[in-house]
Each structure stands twice: as structure tokens, then as C-alpha cells.
Amino acid sequence: MLMKLIKQKIFIILLLFINSCSSVNYQSNSNFKGNLTVETQSNRYNLLLKQHIKRGFLYKFSSKRNFILKTEITFISSDTLSDNGQKSLKSTKAKLNYTLTELKSDKKHKTIDTGSIITFPALSSSSSSIYSKDKSLRHIKERLCVSSAKKLNMRLILILKKIED
């Protein structure tokens, strides 16, 4: 009887411990305070890039500065040969151009950083179907948007930490 009571108490304590840890992780993902505004063109892949930048940007500003990030993503495709040389494959890279500016109260904007990020190439399938080629290229571009957003987020965190120090 005593052993059963001890097991129940241990189980309840363990359950509370697991619940409290999961709520701490949930709260740590909401660090974005909103002083970074992302501006892009309004096509599919630029909007997808904007969404992933906002999702992945978890940097907490210590100051009340406001920043604008202007981004544009373009894709570069070229033909490459497959391993047996029968069909050509498409190699696609993404090039992300960005400009980070700080908004000042006196209407003067200070450019903090400009640059571009080029991703590693992704190969498309060697299918002969037009539909599958189109779907493959679309999926590749979406993955390259996510990859570019992650790289840009890492770069932004480094830049903003350097500014605040």
C-alpha cells in the first residue's frame, strides 16, 4: 500500500515536471517583439521568404530601435548532366539580396548592412513529364526559400548583436 502511494506521488511529480518544461519551451519561441519589419515584392516566393524570416527570427532586442529589412529572392537555373549522361537535369540556386536599414526619428534612415546570399544548388528530377518537372521545380524553390531565410536569420542575429554591443 505504501509502495503504491509512493509510485503515485513520483508519477504526479514527474508529470508536473514534464508539463512545466514544455511550457517554458513554448514561451521561449515568442521572443519577437516586432521592431523588425520585412518588406518584399508580392510574388509567391518572396512572400514565402518573408513568412519564414518572421517565423525563424527569435532575437530579442534590448533597445527600442526599429529596423526595416528589404529582401528579394531570385532563382538561377542551369542545365547539368545526370550521372549516366542520358538526360539533363536542372540545377537551381537561389540568390537573396537584402538591405537592413535603421529607422531614425528625424526621418533619416541609416543603412546598416547590404548583401546577398547564394544557396547551394538543388537538382531537379529527370522525369519526362512536364507536370512532374514543374512540381519538382516548385518544391525546390520553396526549399531554397526556407534555406535562404535560415541563413539570413543567422546573419541578422550576428549583425544586430554587433550593433547593440
Domain residue spans in the chain? 1-30, 32-164
CATH topology assigned to domain 32-164: Double Stranded RNA Binding Domain (3.30.160)
pLDDT at position 126: 72
> Pick from 66, 62, 65, 58: which is nearest to 27 by CA?
58
pLDDT at position 150 is 93
pLDDT score at 94: 94
Residues of the chain with pLDDT under 70: 17, 19-34, 58-63, 82-85, 165
* pLDDT of the residue at 85: 65
pLDDT for position 60: 66
Q: What is the pLDDT of residues 72-115, one digit of tens each?
A: 999 998 888 766 667 778 889 999 999 999 887 777 788 889 99
- The pLDDT, as a whole number, for residue 10 is 84
Predicted confidence at residue 70, as pLDDT, reads 94
- Please give the pLDDT value at position 114: 94
- N-term to C-term CA, the chain: 60
Query: Do the Cβ atoms of 19 and 45 come closer than 8 Å?
Result: no
Nearest of 156, 149, 152, 153 to residue 51 by alpha carbon:
149
Provide the 3-class DSSP secondary structure of residue 120: coil
